[in-house]
A and B are shown apart, each in its own frame.
Chain A
Amino acid sequence: MCMTCGCGETGHDDRVTIAVRQNLLEENDRVAAHNRQHFDENRVLVLNLMSSPGSGKTSLLEATIRELTARGLAVAVIEGDLETENDAERIRRQGVPAVQITTGSACHLDARMVHHALDALALADLDVLFIENVGNLVCPAEFALGQHADVVLLSVTEGDDKPEKYPVMFRIADHVLLTKADLLPVLGDFDPDRARRAVADLSPGTPVSVLSAKTGEGMDAWLAWIDGRRAALPDAPPNAARHHHHHGQPHDHDHDHDHDHDHAHGHHHHR
């Protein structure tokens, strides 16, 4: 209380404490659960890719899309960047739909931005949707989008101690990819085993894979992991009315799916 001017001294008799106990990210978590329902109803595997800027997310996506589409899978990408459509254009050159979200000053994607982007995608026709989050190893970790899994990239041009420096991000990862592995011989000071140990200390059991989108090293293991996650998707409920997002048809944002959103406390991350 201010002792100088006495403000706030009035009304003390009426001071009440109101218990709230509410998660500050509840609104985002609610929309994320809603997104997740869209994904599950349409049996689309959704992977959230996070890393520092320049860790090779877009290059990994290009290589991954080539392989997945060659296997007959329908892929799309939601791109998050502060500015420009450059990354979305790179993805579209692979012949798959890409929706660019430009966040302006926001350092992360949130569930509402992703929900809005779904308006431009025909989820019913997709098998895998990648969300390329804003390049940032801190903020995106806090915002659930409805994804099935978080994939965190660490390029070998960064330090092998980065998991220790950014523990929140690496702790939530479901898969860590050590990218640009073709540069390992020339760099010499990045020890993949050290990065593995650092991830294991934060999150035992999280797979850590060495990968080069350029040479194709590690791509088979990465694609096999995607296959495994696809196989683990919940079965679409029988007779479930598929919930389409179509071009040109405004999505009804008032609808209520009437399922439990029990996200009151604790971390948003689902395993």
Chain B
Amino acid sequence: MHEASIVFGLMRILESQAAAHGVARIRRVNLKVGKLRAVEPQALAACFEAFAEGTAAEGAELHVEHVPARGDCEDCGAGFEVRGFRLICPSCGGRRVTLTGGQELSIESFEADTGTEEEDDPPCA
């Protein structure tokens, strides 16, 4: 469950960003997770729900964009989607491949309500 460590890092970023932007309530968090990362989306969501409790991100939606793995063949120049982690060019069979996508593990943005809350939102039962 290293997703807990990853979400811990996410919460630190959210807390500092929320403070810097004077954000009262975080509604949605947008992540990018590449297909080449060993990150389980359901574990990520479960950890986020637990860690966000009592913070400005409590109840926020965690949106994960899964980024396909892509590579460029250095032999024939073809760009292609890497399937099943096999770093082999489908056009020429070349094995000199430069990865161009699929290693992402980042927060891209978040959506939030600014200013002071007039009232505490009751938790959604």
Residues of A near any B CB (own CB < 8 A): 2, 4-5, 7-8, 10-12, 14-28, 106-108, 110, 138-139, 141-143, 164, 167-169, 171, 200-204, 265-267
- Please measure, in the bound complex, the distance between the C-alpha atom of A19 and the C-alpha atom of B31, giving whole angstroms: 11
A200: nearest residue on chain B (CB-CB)? B95
Excluding A16-B111, A18-B112, A27-B9, 4 further A-B contacts by CB distance (< 8 Å) are: A5-B122, A10-B118, A26-B9, A142-B37
Instruction: Point out the residue from B39, B97, B104 that lies within 8 Å of A142, measured CB to CB.
Output: B39
Count contacts on B: residues with CB < 8 A to the other chain.
49
Offer 14 A-B interface pairs, CB within 8 angstroms, sorted by A: A4-B124, A5-B122, A15-B114, A16-B23, A18-B109, A19-B109, A21-B106, A26-B9, A106-B5, A139-B38, A167-B85, A202-B86, A204-B96, A265-B106
Question: Which B residues touch A201, using CB under 8 A?
Answer: 85-88
Question: Which A residues touch B27, using CB under 8 A?
Answer: 8, 15
Question: Which B residues touch A15, using CB under 8 A?
Answer: 27, 111-114
User: Are B108 and A24 closer than 8 Å at their CB atoms?
Assistant: no
Question: Which A residues touch B110, using CB under 8 A?
Answer: 17-18, 20
Shortest distance between the CB of A52 and any CB in chain B (Å):
14
Interface string of B1-45 (1 = CB under 8 A from A): 110011001101100010001011101000100001111000000
Interface string of B53-75 (1 = CB under 8 A from A): 00000010000000000000000
Instruction: Point out the residue from B6, B24, B118, B124 that lies within 8 Å of A2, measured CB to CB.
Output: B124
- Please measure, in the bound complex, the distance between the C-alpha atom of A143 and the C-alpha atom of B31, giving whole angstroms: 18
- Please measure, in the bound complex, the distance between the C-alpha atom of A78 and the C-alpha atom of B125, giving whole angstroms: 48
A110: nearest residue on chain B (CB-CB)? B5
Shortest distance between the CB of B99 and any CB in chain A (Å):
8
User: Are B109 and A17 closer than 8 Å at their CB atoms?
Assistant: yes
